[in-house]
Every structure is written in structure tokens, then in C-alpha cells.
Amino acid sequence: MFHPTDTAAALIDGPNFYATARALGIDVDYKRLMGLLSQTGRLLRASYFTPISTAEGEHVALRPLVDWLDYNGWNVIAKPAREFTDDEGRRRFRGNTDVDLALTAVNLAPRITHMALFTGNRDFAPLVQDLQSKGVRVTVVSSMKTKPSPFAADELRRAADTFLDLEDLRPLISRPERASAAA
């Protein structure tokens, strides 16, 4: 992914990356992903950004992943999600870490030569252009192979120096399939 002479960073837009992987049926092995990111160049930072529920007494499905990442070399930026009730009376959570991701990228720019941005969100196209104006090469990882429509915004793909389809990384970052229990 990176060149041997790169000083690199990888920033993951957690909700977007999760939705893309899920749409492709990829169960991401974050240890393997870290290995891929670390195998060439010098990885300065690998960060995962996500909103997370902080409701008291609630089981938070995302918590085990966030904790594992935190203990295994990832820099986790978890922002409290706000709880609300939708029109049908269901409890929902909303949060956004886009600004946190963008600020981290801009602050890292003077110390890196290459950034991998794991998102398909078109709102990051100006960030990609800003990083490039500072001499940083940007690789965007998302997908054009999701159905019914691509998760990777055209504006973001056009802005990137390189676009990698997450589907093409499947053999490198997927969890090994577990053998079925015998009946």
C-alpha cells in the first residue's frame, strides 16, 4: 500500500468503513490490516474514528472492537453519540467524527509523505486536496463494487492520488473463515 520510503498514516472513518465492508461481506481482521499497513514504509499513525453510545447500563456492540483496537496499536478516537427517538418511536444514536478525522489529517501532514484514508465520503474530497497541496500523497480505500450503488463518491476518487477498492484487499485483511461445527 505504501512505498518503502514513505512515512505514512492511515485514518479510518469507522462507520463508513464498517458499512462498506459489511456491504461487501468482508469481516475485517484489524490485526491483518495493521500488518498490511506496517509492512512497507514507516507507519507513523493508524487511527480509527467512531461515534459510540455512552448510555448507562447499555450493551454497546462496538465497545469490544474499540477496546481491542485501543490495546493493539490503533489510535482510537471515539466521540460520544447523541441519543434520540426517531419518528417511529425507536431509540437511535447519532454522532460524527468527520471533523476529528480532518483535523488529525491536517495536523499529521507536515510529518508524513503518504496518507491512506479509509472512507468513501465525498465530504473528504477537499481534505484530500489540502493534503496534496502540502505534498502528501493520498490513497483512498472504499468500494465501487457495493450494491446497489458504490460507496466511494466520485469526487473523492477523482481527488485521490490512488484509489484502492476494499474488495481487492479482501484476501489480505479478511478474518479466516471458521470451519462449521459438525452436525
122-136 pLDDT, tens digit each: 999 999 999 999 999
Establish if 178 belongs to a structural domain: no
Whether 20 shows a pLDDT value over 60: the answer reads yes
pTM of the model: 0.90
Task: Count other Cβ atoms within 10 Å, centred on residue 140.
Answer: 26
Distance (Å, rounded) from C-alpha 135 to C-alpha 42? 17
Establish if 160 belongs to a structural domain: yes
Whether 156 shows a pLDDT value over 80: the answer reads yes
Whether 149 shows a pLDDT value over 90: the answer reads no
Whether 25 shows a pLDDT value over 60: the answer reads yes
CB of 161 closer than 8 Å to CB of 136 = no
pLDDT at residue 183, as a whole number: 47
Establish if 167 belongs to a structural domain: yes
C-alpha cell at 106: 491536517
DSSP 1: -
Compute the chain's Rg from CA coordinates. 17
Beta bridge partners of 42: 7
Contacts 24+ apart (CB under 8 A), 172-179: 172/32, 172/36, 173/26, 173/28, 173/29, 173/32, 173/33, 173/36, 174/26, 174/27, 174/28, 174/29, 174/32, 175/27, 175/28, 175/29, 175/32, 176/29
Establish if 12 belongs to a structural domain: yes
114: which residues sit within 8 A by CB, 6+ positions away? 2, 3, 6, 7, 8, 9, 41, 136, 137, 138, 139
Residue 142 is inside which H or E element, if any?
strand 137-142
Establish if 180 belongs to a structural domain: no
CATH for 159: 3.40.50.1010
Over the stretch 55-102, which tens digit does the pLDDT of each residue have?
Answer: 665 557 788 999 999 999 999 999 988 878 888 888 777 889 999 999
pLDDT band at 109 (very low <50, low <70, confident <90, very high): very high
Establish if 68 belongs to a structural domain: no
The predicted model gives 158-170 an average pLDDT of 97
The predicted model gives 91-119 an average pLDDT of 94
CB of 168 closer than 8 Å to CB of 146 = no
Pairing of strands 114-118, 42-52: unpaired
Whether 143 shows a pLDDT value over 70: the answer reads yes
**125-133 vs 98-108: helix crossing angle, rounded to 10:** 10
Total of domains in the chain: 1
- Residues of the domain holding 149: 7-43+96-173
The predicted model gives 164-183 an average pLDDT of 82
